[in-house]
């Protein structure tokens, strides 16, 4: 039986803001934001993107950020697909390099004789977005980077036009946080798998 052809569109997906309540008592720190398109179109199982973003008291608003600092995807999508979002713990320059090894080893099939020295890794101060870095699978020496929250959302290309549309991905904690002081009993801030914020993206066809 013949089925209707699914709508195919070129979509731009950009981070607008992210708010993680469990981090509201934190200062300003940098985190890795991983976004993935799951089966964006036939034959493509996943597309991945990584940004380094600053959170101040658990909030990042991208209004004054450059395009490179908030653009996640410009991708051809077809019919229904998924958007996954994961936010890492606070990162340092060393964390970034470890994650680049993990991310490249997980995402890319390349020749085994490629070496790390052939791939320049930018300084932390210069990083607005981390593109795909082509490292050998031999560099996959670190564990999956720790995430503090994650979430996902089902999308459909027919819901988007050239007019920007905001979508919200609910985030859920990957950890339990208990705070205790000398004068008070232990207080549970958030439990694993409980809601812990949201990430807002702007999506439009182009």
Secondary structure of the chain in HEC code, one letter for each residue: CCCCCCCEEEEEEEEEEEECHHHCCCCEEEEEEEEEEEEEECCEEEEEEEEEEEEECCEEECCCCCHHHHEEEEEEEECEEEEEEEEEEECCHHHHHHHHHHHHHHHCCCCCCCCHHHCCCCCHHHCCEECCCCCCHHHCCCCCCCEEEEEEEEEEHHHCCCCCEEEEEEEEECCCEEECCCCCCCEEEECCCCEEEEEEEEEEEC
Written as six digits, the tokens of 102 are 């993990």
Q: Mean pLDDT for each 10-residue chunk of the chain (206 residues)? A: 69 98 92 95 94 94 92 97 95 67 55 38 41 38 73 97 98 88 76 96 97
pLDDT for 106? 57
Distance CA 148, CA 31 (A): 10
What does the alpha-carbon distance between residue 73 and residue 164 come to, in Å, rounded to a whole number?
Answer: 14
The residues pairing with 137 across neighbouring beta strands, listed in sequence order, are none
Give residue for tokens 């993935």: 36
Residue 179 has phi, psi (to 5 degrees) of -110, 135
Query: Is the domain defined by 8-205 classed in CATH 2.30.40.10?
Result: no
pLDDT value, residue 107 = 54
Q: Are strands 59-61 and 80-90 parallel, antiparallel or unpaired?
A: unpaired
The pLDDT, as a whole number, for residue 130 is 39
pLDDT at position 120 is 43
Check residue 113 and give its pLDDT: 36
pLDDT at residue 138, rounded to an integer: 37
> From residue 90, how far is each of 24, 87, 105, 161, 203 by CA, in Å?
14, 9, 22, 36, 27
* pLDDT (0 to 100) of residue 189: 83
């Amino acid at each position: 039986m013949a089925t209707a052809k699914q709508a195919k569109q070129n979509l731009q997906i950009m981070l607008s803001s992210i708010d993680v309540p469990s981090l509201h008592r934190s200062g300003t720190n940098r985190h890795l934001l991983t976004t993935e398109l799951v089966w964006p179109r036939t034959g493509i199982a996943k597309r991945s993107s990584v940004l380094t973003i600053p959170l101040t008291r658990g909030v990042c608003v991208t209004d004054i950020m450059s395009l490179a600092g908030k653009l996640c995807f410009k991708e051809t999508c077809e019919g229904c697909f998924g958007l996954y979002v994961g936010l890492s713990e606070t990162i340092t320059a060393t964390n970034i390099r470890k994650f680049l090894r993990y991310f490249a080893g997980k995402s890319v099939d390349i020749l085994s004789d490629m070496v790390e020295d052939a791939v320049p890794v930018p300084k932390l101060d210069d990083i607005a977005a981390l593109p795909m870095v082509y490292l050998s699978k031999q560099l996959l020496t670190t564990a999956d980077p720790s995430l503090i929250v994650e979430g996902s959302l089902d999308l459909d290309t027919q819901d988007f036009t050239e007019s920007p549309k905001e979508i919200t991905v609910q985030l859920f904690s990957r950890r339990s946080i208990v705070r205790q002081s000398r004068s008070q009993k232990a207080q549970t801030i958030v439990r694993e798998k409980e809601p812990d914020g949201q990430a807002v993206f702007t999506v439009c066809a182009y």
